[in-house]
Amino acid sequence: MTPIEKNIIVVDEQGNEYEATYPKRAKGLVKNGRARFIAENKICLACPPKSETEDNKMSDNISVNENIESVEATAPDTAEKLSAKDIFDRISELQRQITENSYYSLHRLGDTFSSIYDHNGVSVASEEIEVICQVFKEREKTLMKMLDIYERMYEDLCSGNREIKSIELIKLSVAAELELIEISGLSKDRKTMKINEAIDKGRTRMTDVILHSRDASRPVKLEEVSEVSKAPEPEVIKDTDQ
């Protein structure tokens, strides 16, 4: 009887080559989502073996430091004069980064959980999972600190004329929401519905600001409410469904 040989070459995403494995073992790894065939006699691991864990740790730590430095580089300069729109844009950008940070952390953890064993069946992901969690935790803390700073700056800037600034903020918020709807993967009909909802919601919020900021003894002028209807209109949506 001919002995079964380890004739399946094993590599990782970085091109590092490891000890060959048996065909049956290779098929098992592929079936469980821990590897994929890239040639008839070669598989590529979804997660490198334990010997690479320390390198991954160092890479993750470098990555989080770079990210934190990048965020801190956007810190407001006390000598810099920022408009309400500038601050709002920075708040929006930080909110986007926080959302992406959460998304990528879950995505990365998902990949790690799916590759919790190396090609020899040894669990190697526990330490890496801890590192990944710490990386994204520290980044989110930094982003939240920056967000708090800009929110306080915006509040201080708007304290002089809250009615005008509140309406300006609502308009900017509606415009940002319309932009997100425009680039979403929704169908044309769904986009139209969401756009109308966003505009109606914005107009209602601006009307409330005007009504509640005026003396109740003085009637609100018709032109004041009409001004609210000047919410940002959406761009013409191209039908991408065809």
Same domain, 111 and 186: no
Q: Quote the domain boundaries for residue 31.
A: 8-46
**Residue 3: inside a domain, yes or no?**
no
Same domain, 74 and 104: yes
Residue 61 buriedness (CB in 10 A; 0-12 / 13-18 / 19+): middle
Same domain, 104 and 187: no
pLDDT mean over 60-68 = 47
Same domain, 182 and 211: yes
Q: What is the pLDDT of residue 71?
A: 46
Please give the Cα distance from 177 to 241 (Å, whole number). 21
Number of folded domains in the chain? Answer: 3
Residue 17 buriedness (CB in 10 A; 0-12 / 13-18 / 19+): exposed
**Residue 174: inside a domain, yes or no?**
yes
Same domain, 155 and 169: no
Does the structure show a pLDDT above 80 at 24?
yes
Where does a domain end: 159, 180, 211?
159
Q: 47 and 53 in contact (C-beta within 8 Å)?
A: no
pLDDT in tens, 212-225: 765 443 444 444 44
Which range of 151-155, 210-214, 230-234 scores highest in mean pLDDT? It is 151-155
Q: What is the pTM of this model?
A: 0.31
- What is the Cα Rg of the chain in Å? 27
Which range of 77-86, 87-96, 102-111, 188-197 scores highest in mean pLDDT? It is 188-197
Q: Which residues have C-beta within 8 Å of that of residue 116, sequence separation ≥ 6?
A: 47, 123, 124, 125
**Residue 1: inside a domain, yes or no?**
no
